[in-house]
Amino acid sequence: MRKFLPTFHKIPNNATTIDLRNLAEQNLVEEEELGIFAQAQSVLNWHISHQHCACCGAKTHAVFVG
């Protein structure tokens, strides 16, 4: 099985962060795109909170972007 290898880009020094709620409230992206951002945040949160397999304790890896 091929593993997804993420590409990380350098974040510009002048970059700022914004949470999804403010992103939506400030109409910074199209409404149809909010679900994509929410799904991406959900996957990232899952990977942050589930770094080991619940069955065997092995380290988990993102596969096929999920």
Closest CA to 23 of 15, 13, 34: 34
**DSSP secondary structure letter of residue 50:** -
Q: Partners of 52 in the beta sheet? A: 59
Rounded distance, CA 15 to CA 4, Å? Answer: 26
The residue whose Cβ lies closest to Zn ion is 53
Name which of 11 and 56 has its Cβ closer to Zn ion: 56
State the nearest-atom distance from the C-beta of 50 to Zn ion, in Å: 11
State the nearest-atom distance from the C-beta of 55 to Zn ion, in Å: 4
State the nearest-atom distance from the C-beta of 57 to Zn ion, in Å: 7
Which residues here bind Zn ion, judged by CB under 5 A?
Answer: 53, 55-56, 58
